[in-house]
Amino acid sequence: MQPLAAMTWEEARDARGPSSVAILPVGAIEAHGPHLPLETDVIIAQAMARSGAARLAARGMRVVVLPSLTYTAAAFAQGFAGTLSLRPETVTATVLDIAGSLTRHGFGVLAIANAHLDPGHLASLEAAVDAIRRDLGLVVACPSLASKPWALRLSDEFRSGACHAGQFETSMVLAERPELVREATRAALPPNPASLSRAIRDGKQSFEEAGGPLAYFGFPSQATAEEGRKTVEVLGAILDEAVQAELSVGRGR
Ligand SMILES: [Zn+2]
């Protein structure tokens, strides 16, 4: 597996093919509590991409990892400094254009390693995936971690909906980039079990309205690097299995 951006164009030409998988890590630049960096979702998406790429390569598939999409829709966090939010239609157009280039150059599969769960962002990705399938005919896998069956593989805290900058995400940043965790702050943070997913269903529009005045939910003080390493492997397995599922749907057509 190789980062596309480090290849020459001739190496990229040789890496393409109907069974070549291009993985797009998708995160956000948005507030993640007082203890995690704005790029938390990018770090998690890149870890998911790396783990998924290793599994796909072990099956004998050719894999390239694309540069991450780090700007996206992040309306829930836009009241917090540093959050950079795009309009959802900009995100849909960007992902569709990336997929168009991959199709033109002969890659067969796009796998989206998405770690950002803002509802406007998820809707923009869904719209992009629909358009890619309809207009480009590229095989695309985009497992939604908050939905079945994938959510069933994730932690109780995650499934409770307290899934932003809590134990789940903090553990992965501790595993991947421990130097970016404000450790003294993290260890002292009180739990915030408010369910963000329930608040979204109830029509709330921001972290503040959802009961997260410091832009975190869940139990960051209980995070461990060990849990983070395990979760990264689960996310990689989900990406791999989502690609296999799309390929078997394609073969059945
Ligand atoms: Zn996050």
Q: Model confidence over 34-74: pLDDT tens digits?
A: 999 999 999 999 999 999 999 999 999 999 999 999 999 99
pLDDT band at 146 (very low <50, low <70, confident <90, very high): confident
Distance between Cα 116 and ligand 1 center (Å): 5
Q: Give the Å distances, CA to CA, from 34 to 178, 182, 204.
A: 15, 8, 22
Q: What proportions of the chain, in percent to the nearest 5, are helix, strand and coil?
A: 50, 15, 35
| Alpha carbon of 72 to ligand 1 centroid (Å) | 12
Q: CA 25, 27, 31: angle at the middle one, nearest 5?
A: 165
pLDDT band with cut points at 50, 70 and 90 for residue 140? very high
Band of pLDDT at residue 185, cut at 50, 70 and 90: very high
Q: What's the 118 CA to ligand 1 centre distance in angstroms?
A: 9
- Determine which of 21-30, 78-87, 203-212, 244-253 has the lowest per-residue pLDDT on average: 244-253
Residue 253: is its pLDDT beyond 70?
no
Interval 152-164 mean pLDDT: 89
Determine the pLDDT at residue 92.
98
Return the pLDDT at 1.
67
The confidence score (pLDDT) of residue 102 equals 97
CA–centroid distance, residue 164 to ligand 1 (Å): 5
- Per the CB < 8 A criterion, the answer to whether 212 and 159 are in contact is no
- The pLDDT value recorded for residue 252 is 58
pTM of the predicted model as reported, rounded to 2 decimal places: 0.96
pLDDT for res 2: 77
> What one-character DSSP code corresponds to residue 132?
I
CA quadruple 242, 24, 115, 205: dihedral sign: negative
User: How many A from CA of 9 to the centre of ligand 1?
Assistant: 33
Residues in the 5 Å CB sphere of ion ligand 1: 41, 169
- Tell me, in angstroms, the distance from the centre of ligand 1 to residue 230's CA: 17
What is the 77 CA–ligand 1 centroid distance (Å)?
A: 10
Q: What is the pLDDT of residue 8?
A: 97
* Separation of CA 55 and ligand 1 centre (Å): 24
